[in-house]
Amino acid sequence: MLRPIGLILEIRLRQAWRSIKSVGALWILGLPLALVFYLSALSTLSKQSLEVVTAVLLLPPVLIHLSRRDLFFLEKQGFPLRMVLFAEYALLTVLLALPLALLFGFYAAAGLSLAGCLALAFLPQWKRPAGNRRALPLAFLPYLAFEWHSALRRHGWLFLLFYLPGLAFSAYTGAPLLSVILIATLLPGVFEDCEPKELMEPFFFRPYGLWRKLGLHAFLLLLALLPLAAVFFIFSPEVWYLMPLALLIALLFLAFAILYKYAQYWPGRRKVHNSLTAALFALGLIIPFFAPACLVYLVALFRKAEKRVVLLYG
């Protein structure tokens, strides 16, 4: 029984290593940021109650279990499914639970989180409702913004979840700013799917195609965030400069998402996995000292994306 579990864990570790290698030179920036973030998380959790710590430890396994689609495949391959799931979730939880237990005495939280992982492993796979649902009409979007058509049809509820509270609680200074930043974090997911050559022709078979692509999506993003900016300027004019800063961060994140996709683009590739690199890029923008490195990385991505498009399609 232990051999297939070890095989699955070896596969997961190799997948994690490939993701780490895909970040490339950004690890020069990301390694100290990741260490600071990890230590900050430990310090923050050490001051929380037992219930909060246990909930935070269980949150990543719960999110992974709800989103995974490989349970049927693993079971058909003859793996001890529940033990494999428990081993995966426990390994993920131990990364935080073990230091919290040894350094701050949260032994009960570690035990409860592992028990939660065991219970989670026996939950069935969550199935999305199937059916012939009509596509949401998005005639107000230009056809060249096909990424937004796809993203809003799949995850439009998530954008609304971040957008509407910013308008509803606009009297509070932080609400519109937080909405802008949260929406910016969704942008890498909008541009992770790779389009076929036919959808690239309107942009890249004409001069300055990459610039026009960036300009179109920057215009649409600013237009969408304009109501949040307006209510912020109305209710918080004394700190007006914070909203342009938040919009700048959103535009930089948008540029990263687009440039990273085309820097990694290859015919036949269906998806560019950018979540890890996007997280490191976001951490670099949050800490001003590392912001210049993020700008240099954007320039490098732009050059690589241009070379990749020219190499493939002239």
Render pLDDT for 232-246 as a digit per residue (tens, 0 to 9).
999 999 999 999 999
**pLDDT tens across 246-299, in order?**
999 999 999 999 999 888 888 777 888 777 788 778 877 877 777 888 888 899
**Region 85-112: what's the mean pLDDT?**
89
- CA proximity to 300, closest of 266, 252, 260: 260
With pLDDT > 70 as the criterion, what percentage of the chain qualifies?
Answer: 86
Residue 20: what pLDDT? 64
Confidence of residue 137 (pLDDT cuts 50, 70, 90): low
3-state secondary structure the chain: CHHHHHHHHHHHHHHHHHHHHHHHHHHHHHHHHHHHHHHHHHHHHCCCCHHHHHHHHHHHHHHHHHHCCCHHHHHHCCCCHHHHHHHHHHHHHHHHHHHHHHHHCCHHHHHHHHHHHHHHHCCCCCCCCCCCCCCCCCCCCCCCCHHHHHHHHHHHHHHHHHHHHHHHCCCCCHHHHHHHHHHHHCHHHHCCECCCHHHHHHHHCCCCHHHHHHHHHHHHHHHHHHHHHHHHHHHCHHHCCHHHHHHHHHHHHHHHHHHHHHHCCCCCCCECCCHHHHHHHHHHHHCHHHHHHHHHHHHHHHHHHHHHHHHHHC
**Region 177-204: what's the mean pLDDT?**
81
Confidence of residue 115 (pLDDT cuts 50, 70, 90): very high
Question: Rg of the chain's alpha carbons, rounded to an integer?
Answer: 22
Confidence of residue 29 (pLDDT cuts 50, 70, 90): low
Query: Is 209 or 296 the better-scoring residue by pLDDT?
Result: 296
Residue 131: what pLDDT? 47
Contacts of 213 (CB under 8 A, 6+ apart): 203, 258
221 pLDDT more than 90: yes
**198, two tokens:** 């036919």
pTM for this entry: 0.63
Q: How far apart are CA 228 and CA 236, in angstroms?
A: 12
162 pLDDT more than 50: yes
3-state secondary structure 114-136: HHHHHHHHCCCCCCCCCCCCCCC
Amino acid code (one letter) for 275: S
Strand partners, 271: 193
**125, two tokens:** 């796979």
